[in-house]
Amino acid sequence: MRSIVLFLLLAACADPFGDAQKVDTIEGWETYLATDPSGSDKISADTRLEQLLVERALTSTKLAEYDEVITRFPKSRALAKVQAARALTQFASAEAENTPAAWEAFLAQNPTADASMRKKASARVQVAGYIDKLQIGEVKVEEVNLAEDPKGPKDGWGFTAEVTNTGDKTLDFLTLEVQLLDASGGKLVAKSYPLAGTTGPGGMSLPEEYTKPLKPGDKRVWVYTMGEIPEGWSKQVRLVPTSLQFNGNLSGAK
């Protein structure tokens, strides 16, 4: 009898909420809510748990951690911020994988993403489906004079690569994006320029060769120059097709 009374007294003195506050971790609050789901401190515990999950999600690259906030706290004040961060993370993943399935997954799982981002992703579905039919040679990187003065100072960088259409479709429009990478392969900046099309960025004229469609078997050299280079550039680059048009169907943003 005495042991039962002692147990009840100890239980009465226990402070699960206080213990959770001291630990102040996701696991600690999860444990408290699991053991006392209808306690008087439930609202406070839920609020703190939400804060911790949001903080984790906004410093995360794991889709599951974004989704936990979105699913468990659909009325969170931070919901839009978490959804936007999730979209950016999955867009980068789809870009790295660059397959129709990856882009379709992005569209299906990020209905609230920025409209321009969804438009790019929708376009990239078709581009990714044709990418294995574009043979892109090694990108040559060299310092150049931006005014094309052979005696002038080297005040910029030039990027050139040979591209071959090995598919069975004539490309009326094709844009490539050069991505400047850091030492870990992360994208620092990206610039796009057509290899085939009627006009360039902002309506600027293109070299005559670029205004001709790229027919099956055609080979063409893509050239782009850049003056401002981001800090941390490792001299590594990646060249990615981002838009194309054939059979009257445009895919990708100019």
The reported pLDDT for the residue numbered 3 is 42
Give the predicted TM-score (pTM) of the model: 0.77
Q: How far is CA 172 from CA 27, 46, 117, 141, 239, in A?
A: 56, 56, 24, 27, 19
**CA dist., res. 211 & res. 204, Å (int):** 12
CB 157 within 8 A of CB 144: yes
CB 237 within 8 A of CB 179: yes
The reported pLDDT for the residue numbered 37 is 82
Q: Which residues contact 200 (CB under 8 A, 6 or more apart)?
A: 193, 194, 206
- Whose tokens are 């609050």? That residue is 29
CB 139 within 8 A of CB 201: no
The amino acid sitting at 182 is D
- Domain ranges for the chain: 16-113, 134-251
pLDDT (tens digit, 0 to 9) for every residue of the chain, 254 residues total? 544 443 333 344 478 899 999 999 999 999 999 988 888 899 999 999 999 999 999 999 999 999 999 999 999 999 999 999 999 999 999 998 999 999 999 999 999 999 999 999 998 998 999 999 999 999 999 999 999 999 999 999 999 999 999 999 999 999 999 999 999 999 999 999 999 999 888 888 999 999 999 999 999 999 999 999 999 999 999 999 999 988 655 455 44
Q: How many CB atoms lie within 10 A of CB 197?
A: 22
Give the CATH number of domain 134-251; options: 1.10.287, 3.40.50, 3.40.190, 2.60.40.
2.60.40
Q: Which residues contact 3 (CB under 8 A, 6 or more apart)?
A: none
**CA dist., res. 13 & res. 56, Å (int):** 33
Shortest CA distance to 201 belongs to which of 243, 249, 154? 243
**CA dist., res. 238 & res. 180, Å (int):** 7
H/E run at residue 242? strand 236-246
DSSP state of 215: -
- Whose tokens are 């102040």? That residue is 24
